[in-house]
Amino acid sequence: MNFDFSEEQLQLRDQARRFLTEHSTSKRIRQVLDGVAPYDRAMWQEIAAMGWLGAAVPEEYGGAGLGHVGLCVLAEELGRSLAPVPFSSSVYLATEALLVAGSEAQKEELLPKLAAGELIGTLAWAEGVGNPAPERIKARVSGGRLTGAKWPVPDGGVADIAIVAARDEADRTVLVLARLGGAGVHPETLSTVDPTREQVKLSFEGVSVEVLPGDGWASLQQVLERAAVLTAFEQVGLAQACLDMAVAFAMERHAFGRPIGSFQAIKHKLADVYVATELARSNAYYGAWALTAGAAELPLAAASARVSASEAAWLAAKENIQTHGGIGFTWEMDCHLYYRRAKLLGLTLGSAPWWKDRVVTALEIRNAA
């Protein structure tokens, strides 16, 4: 039985943790929060220089070829540290979309640049309220030109390219590659619950795009499944960070003549956060295995990882504030940064009801087989 990170992966984790502890500080996160910049460019460049962006990209496309488990290791640390960079959009979404559905030419051109951080990418699937569904996709591609409005698009203002879900002339769902920044693309920054991760409305007016080969809806689901596993590791890292914060505070803070961590009301709450986090971690590990092995279980493993991790991150973030009491609700304390991010991560790939339905659908398919 070998169901855990390897020695090399644990070393990678330690390196990542050291770097992010030093660089992804509250001060630097708050510069993005306060609107000084849409993301931390210096951190982004260092992360690119360390090769993290191409961790799971095969070496033939300019990546490090560490495999998806290596990327999962990094994702957990990025989640723990709330790193204010467009990593998830560029790596879990755009890079994975190209790996899943890109043409050979698109992969050869774009993957090395994404891996090097020369380009930032994102995925634009949503068009307002609702979870992913083919009938909600109204953006149209006609004669190689894209028209429609996608929102919210994570990092849509800083991205150079976007993989966009749209309908073609035959009313089929397709994924298309749009180069942003040119004429006909109108980005509008949205106000969001977590300003450390930019959300944008992207309006396209007859923008020239390339259609990715294959069934767009099937590809989109695959991309969301892969991103769900990777995001689950971010959520597990975030949950653990919240639990660590809450435990540290509960040991220090005295009330009624004793540390509040000696009250069972606090102990049992934090024990429940621990249980949820460990269940989420184990579900995420299974997702990492399925993703790396290219296993047929991926749809079930990914949906389970997402449901479990969204629950754990939300529980840990809200109970962290609760454990802190009034001080935890101040702007100066970092509790609200985790609270905001936890909710964002639980929504960004579609919310829990949609993924729960996918868990049961996957169980039904498995049992029918």
Partner 1 sequence: MDFEDTPEEAAFRTEVKAFLAANAEPKKRGAPPSRSRNVGPEELARAKKYQGAKAAAGLAGLTWQKQWGGREAPPIFQVIFNQEEEAYSIPRGVFEIGLGMCIPTMMAYATQEQLHRHVSPALRGEEVWCQLFSEPAGGSDVAAVRTRAEKNGDTWTINGQKIWTSGAQFSDFGIMVTRSNPDVPKHMGLTFFFLDMKSPGIEIRPIKQASGASHFNEVFFTDVKIPDSQRLGAVGQGWRVALTTLMNERLAIGDVPRPDVEDLLDLTRIVELDGEPAVRNVAVREKIADMHVRNQGLKYTRFRTMTALSRGQTPGPESSIGKLVNAAKLQEIASFGMDLLGSAGVVMDKELAPMNALFQEALLGAPASRIAGGTDEILRNIIAERVLGLPGDIRVDKDIPFNRLPTGKR
For partner 1, the closer of residues 130 and 206 by Cβ is 130
Cβ at position 235, least distance to partner 1 in Å: 13
Q: Which tokens is 210 given?
A: 């390339």
Which listed residue (283, 321, 334, 338) binds partner 1 by CB under 8 A? 283
For residue 201, the SS3 value is strand
Binding of partner 1 by 314 (CB under 8 A): no
Q: Maximum CA pair distance of the chain?
A: 73
Give which of 247, 268, 172 is closest to 215, Cα–Cα: 172
Length of the chain: 369
Print the binding letters for residues 3-22 with partner 1: x by CB under 8 A, - otherwise.
xxxx----------------
CA distance 237 to 130: 27
Which listed residue (8, 34, 205, 357) binds partner 1 by CB under 8 A? 357
CA distance 327 to 94: 39
- Residues 58-77 close enough to bind partner 1 by CB under 8 A: 69
Binding of partner 1 by 278 (CB under 8 A): yes
Per the DSSP assignment, residues forming a β-bridge with 265 are none
Q: Which residues contact 211 (CB under 8 A, 6 or more apart)?
A: 141, 144, 168, 174, 175, 176, 177
Cβ at position 226, least distance to partner 1 in Å: 16
For partner 1, the closer of residues 83 and 305 by Cβ is 305
Binding of partner 1 by 268 (CB under 8 A): yes
Binding of partner 1 by 281 (CB under 8 A): yes
How far is residue 7 CA from its own chain's centroid? Answer: 25
Binding of partner 1 by 85 (CB under 8 A): no
DSSP secondary structure string for all residues of 267-328 = HHHHHHHHHHHHHHHHHHHHHHHHHHHT-TTHHHHHHHHHHHHHHHHHHHHHHHHHHHGGGG
Cβ at position 345, least distance to partner 1 in Å: 16
Which listed residue (21, 262, 329, 330) binds partner 1 by CB under 8 A? 262
| Contact stretch for partner 1 (CB under 8 A) within 146-154, 159-167, 200-208, 261-269 | 261-269
Which listed residue (282, 318, 322, 347) binds partner 1 by CB under 8 A? 282
Q: Is the dihedral of CA 227, 277, 29, 336 positive or negative?
A: positive
Which listed residue (10, 271, 296, 365) binds partner 1 by CB under 8 A? 271
Binding of partner 1 by 236 (CB under 8 A): no
Q: Print burial letters for 225-241: b (CB count within 10 Å at least 16), e (below 16).
A: bbbbbbbbbbbbbbbbb
Binding of partner 1 by 349 (CB under 8 A): no
For partner 1, the closer of residues 81 and 277 by Cβ is 277
Cβ at position 206, least distance to partner 1 in Å: 39
Cβ at position 175, least distance to partner 1 in Å: 27
Q: Which tokens is 115 given?
A: 């891996």
Binding of partner 1 by 288 (CB under 8 A): yes
For residue 36, the SS3 value is coil
Which listed residue (250, 315, 316, 335) binds partner 1 by CB under 8 A? 250
CA distance 155 to 12: 26
Which listed residue (49, 133, 360, 365) binds partner 1 by CB under 8 A? 360
| Contact stretch for partner 1 (CB under 8 A) within 47-55, 106-114, 155-163, 285-293 | 285-293
For partner 1, the closer of residues 151 and 263 by Cβ is 263
CA distance 313 to 207: 38
Q: Which residues contact 36 (CB under 8 A, 6 or more apart)?
A: none
CA distance 17 to 13: 6
For partner 1, the closer of residues 36 and 275 by Cβ is 275
CA distance 340 to 229: 20
Binding footprint of partner 1 on the chain (CB under 8 A): 1-6, 69, 243, 247, 250-251, 258-259, 261-264, 266-268, 270-272, 274-275, 278-283, 285-286, 288-289, 292-293, 303-304, 307-308, 311, 353, 355-357, 359-360, 363-364, 367
